[in-house]
Amino acid sequence: MKVSDEVVSSGNINDGSTLSVFLGAMEDTLHLIGPQLDQSVTRVENNISEVWLNVKKDETPPKGIVTLGTNTVHLNTSWETVVGEKYPGFAYVGLISYNSLISTQTSVMEETNTGGRTAEYYLNSPVVTFCVSNKKTEHLPEPVTFTFTHQHEVSESKPLCVSWNNTKWTEDGCELLHSNINHSVCSCDHLSTFALIMQTRPCPDDENNIVIKVIGILAVSVGLVFLSLSLVTFANYRRSPRLTNTALINLCLNLLLAHLLFLLTQIFLRYIKPLQVLCAVLAGVLHFLFLSAFVWMFTEAVLLFIHVKNLTKLRSKKEGLNWKYLVVIGYIISLIVVGVSAVLVPDGYGSEKCWLKTDKDFVWSFLGPVCFILAANTLLFLSILIIMTSTLKKVMNESLKTKRTERDQQLFKSVVLKTMIQFIILGCSWVPGFFTGCSKVLEMVFLLLNSQQGTFIFLIHCVFNQEVRLLYVKWWRTLCATHTPKTEEDPDTTTTKF
């Protein structure tokens, strides 16, 4: 205790790495001292910290509730959690409360980004380390709860329960159960060093924003309707034997499933969030579906590049990849990315909204491939523009005209233009997501653009396509003819009278 007082008072703890070493040394010391103590309760206090150790040495493992506490924090757990699977004849639970560690860690808190949005945070409680004789404390069978007394009254800011992870604070494994002006109750599924932090410039609470929720549900529902119409259209209509609808069909299918799952998840979020495994699984499926949509958008760009590049070449037979290979490639890439992400960071799925967690930069397992695909698509479409410009100049040559009719040229120009517009709308609509921060305007723009992806696809590839419009007219006439009531007269008799 004297050494810890000197270390903290000297001001040597000025970065996250040094703090981790200090906290680890203090915890290891408790593990060494705990089994040696004969007294059931030991409390030591100095200017910097306060230690409380509770020890049980019986033939049978202790049971029941155990509570440790100081003037500013109280821990509640059970002796079953303290003992664990094996009982060596003793059990102990310890608490270290650092009352003066706050002033030395201001710089570390400014670097913290727990909510996925850049902001500054400050500690509103003492830093507390909990340790028990149980060696397996990463995933406790039942969570431990602790109550912090606020050092500053809470008004608008929402407290965050955090634990120390190497060099920064993280919300992973902890949640806020209750909070008022003076106290906050936290629950964590592991043991570590904990604290309560506050955001200096908090973002508005999304949970109470009914307007955004309603607009989001309506917007996503409208997008789902048009995605369904687009999917039915592409499945029943092929523009040309030289071009395949495989990419468009799978793009619409993935967007349809992703937006539908996202909509259902947000509607029933309050019921899904407590089920952490289900929440993590849904986040993984959403990760796969949205990533697959981008892969199919990239596949469509590659197919277009191949077809446009062959405009000036004479081809006697159909070229391109078989649609079966396209399906395998289109989904295996996303599956590999999600699988590797899940293996490397198994607890990266299941945020507050059942999406990717922002700590450990896990969200880049989605943003990274998306940025790469957007950059690759940009290069492909620039190449397509150059090739198309050069080809359209050569089309004036009569020999080339005989090989490619004017209708073929118009078809390719139309397809390229529409797909490029689709890329701008579907791909670039994710850009505002990088800069939303606390801006409700950008968040609303991001929500509307992404929810209406199906609407944009329907307008570009269906409404603005004359042949598809004729197909709709044909379907409508067939539908009307089916529902037209038949007369009771015999058809032959009617014809004779006429």
CA–CA separation, 400 and 394 (whole Å): 7
Residues 214, 300 within the same domain: yes
On the question of pLDDT at 495 being above 80, the answer is no
On the question of pLDDT at 104 being above 50, the answer is no
The residues facing 67 across adjacent strands are 76
Question: What's the CATH number where 23 sits?
Answer: 2.60.220.50
Q: Vertex 155, ends 150 and 159: CA angle to 5°?
A: 55
Closest CA to 18 of 9, 3, 28, 7: 7
The residues facing 42 across adjacent strands are 53
Residue at 331 is within a domain: yes
Q: Which of 167, 199, 231 is the last residue of a domain?
A: 199
pTM reported for the whole predicted model: 0.59
Helices (H), 310-405: 323-344, 364-394, 398-403
Max distance between CA atoms of the chain, in angstroms, equals 116
Other Cβ atoms less than 10 A from the Cβ of 77: the count is: 21
Residues 98, 127 within the same domain: yes
Residue at 493 is within a domain: no
Query: For the segment 209-247, what is each residue's pLDDT rounded down to a tens digit?
Result: 677 778 888 989 999 999 998 888 887 765 543 345 788
Q: Vertex 142, ends 269 and 97: CA angle to 5°?
A: 105
Query: For the segment 109-143, what is each residue's pLDDT rounded down to a tens digit?
Result: 444 444 444 456 778 888 899 888 888 888 888 88
Other Cβ atoms less than 10 A from the Cβ of 387: the count is: 17
On the question of pLDDT at 397 being above 90, the answer is no
The domain containing residue 49 runs over which residues?
Answer: 2-199
The residues facing 51 across adjacent strands are 44, 96
Give the tokens for residue 438.
């606390």
CA–CA separation, 336 and 297 (whole Å): 18
User: What average pLDDT does range 304-314 have in this prediction?
Assistant: 69
**Domain total of the chain:** 2
Residues 426, 331 within the same domain: yes
CA–CA separation, 447 and 219 (whole Å): 8
Q: Which of 170, 199, 228 is the last residue of a domain?
A: 199
Task: Report which DSSP code applies to 104.
Answer: G
Q: Would you state the pLDDT for residue 283?
A: 92
On the question of pLDDT at 21 being above 90, the answer is no
Residue at 497 is within a domain: no
Residues 126, 248 within the same domain: no
Q: Are 443 and 436 in contact (CB under 8 A)?
A: yes
User: What average pLDDT does range 40-46 have in this prediction?
Assistant: 86
Residues 351, 426 within the same domain: yes
Residues 471, 333 within the same domain: yes
Q: Which of 166, 199, 232 is the last residue of a domain?
A: 199
Residues 161, 260 within the same domain: no
Q: Are 310 and 243 in contact (CB under 8 A)?
A: no
